[in-house]
A and B are shown apart, each in its own frame.
Chain A
Amino acid sequence: MNFALSVQGSPYASASHWSALRFAEAALTNNHKIHRVFFYHDAVLIGSRLQAPPQDETNLTTAWQHLGSVHELDLCLCVASCLRRGILDAAEAKRFEKSADNLASGFQITGLGQLIEAALVSDRLVTFRG
């Protein structure tokens, strides 16, 4: 089956990313496909490369990056959610004249159309709310 995931919860304040990661790992292990992971609302905070959780805790950004690189996942962040919350790639940082960008590698900032397209072309859209 071809899945699309919609992740909405804050990375370290909810179980949303944990649940989505475990679901993705299980689905891929069982030879399903994941068309796209779309991060919306506070979930886009996962895209900051500046997060530094305690060393004995899982770094969720690294976990997505690892899963993404192994399985060539499309990890998309909503641009409007990102801009409100200070997640900027180089182009957005330049556009808004900010002193730095902070988008972690392996993620890309995209529009809401990517969520809609993922919903339309996948067999199942699975939402992980905060």
Chain B
Amino acid sequence: MADLLFLFSQRPHSSIYPQEALDAALAGSAFADIAILFLDAGVLQLLDTKPPYPLSPRKAFQRGFAAFSDYDIHGVYCCETAFRQFQLEDKSLIIQPTLVTRSEIKTHLASAKQVLSF
């Protein structure tokens, strides 16, 4: 199990928070074994969408997810309930996460050394 579990729960383009959360996760991967869990509206970050206005010059920050394996980030999970709620089944995603049930989420939360919530 991961030392640090990062929770990404905010939708992608309405604030800079998800982008700064990714920055924190990539920094964490340099020091520890980390995993990432997408939940709630954060699952929308998995779509390759651009903001309608340039909140940041790094427009589609989510494309950085494709580099997770280069950062040795292999545990990428997504809440199955939210995944279905936002109807992502048939969508093209930037990365394919492992879908996890609520009980599996509890296990991940309990077993990580620390949880970083964004």
Q: Is B94 an interface residue (CB 8 A)?
A: no
Inter-subunit contact A120/B114 (CB<8 Å): yes
Inter-subunit contact B4/A120 (CB<8 Å): yes
Return chain B residues, CB-CB under 8 Å to A119: 4, 28, 32, 113-114, 116
Which stretch (B16-24, B46-54, B79-87, B96-104) binds chain A? Answer: B16-24
Inter-subunit contact B114/A113 (CB<8 Å): no
Q: Is B115 an interface residue (CB 8 A)?
A: yes
Contact for B31 among A120, A122, A124, CB less than 8 A: A120
Q: Could you say which of A6, A116, A117, A122 has the most chain B C-beta atoms within 10 Å of its C-beta? A: A116
Contact mask A13-42 → B, CB, 8 Å, 1/0? 000000000000000000000000000110
Q: Is B40 an interface residue (CB 8 A)?
A: no
Main secondary structure of the interface of B (DSSP, over half): mixed
Return chain A residues, CB-CB under 8 Å to B28: 112, 115-116, 119
Q: Could you say which of B3, B24, B117 has the most chain A C-beta atoms within 10 Å of its C-beta? A: B24
Contact mask B18-46 → A, CB, 8 Å, 1/0? 00100110011011100000000000000
Return chain A residues, CB-CB under 8 Å to B27: 111-113, 115-116
Inter-subunit contact B4/A112 (CB<8 Å): no
Return chain B residues, CB-CB under 8 Å to A117: 31
Question: Once the chains are docked, how many angstroms separate the CA of A93 from the CA of B49?
Answer: 35
| Complex: chain B residue closest to A84, CB-CB | B16
- Additional A-B contacts beyond A80-B20, A113-B30 (12; CB < 8 A): A41-B16, A84-B16, A112-B24, A112-B28, A113-B27, A115-B27, A119-B32, A120-B3, A120-B4, A120-B113, A125-B115, A127-B115
Binding site for A on B (CB under 8 A): 3-4, 16-17, 20, 23-24, 27-28, 30-32, 113-118
Could you show 25 A-B contacts with beta carbons less than 8 Å apart? A40-B20, A41-B16, A41-B17, A41-B20, A111-B27, A112-B23, A112-B27, A113-B27, A113-B31, A115-B24, A115-B27, A116-B4, A116-B24, A116-B27, A116-B31, A119-B113, A120-B3, A120-B31, A122-B114, A125-B115, A127-B115, A127-B116, A127-B117, A129-B117, A129-B118
Binding site for B on A (CB under 8 A): 6, 8, 40-41, 78, 80-81, 84, 111-113, 115-117, 119-120, 122, 124-125, 127, 129
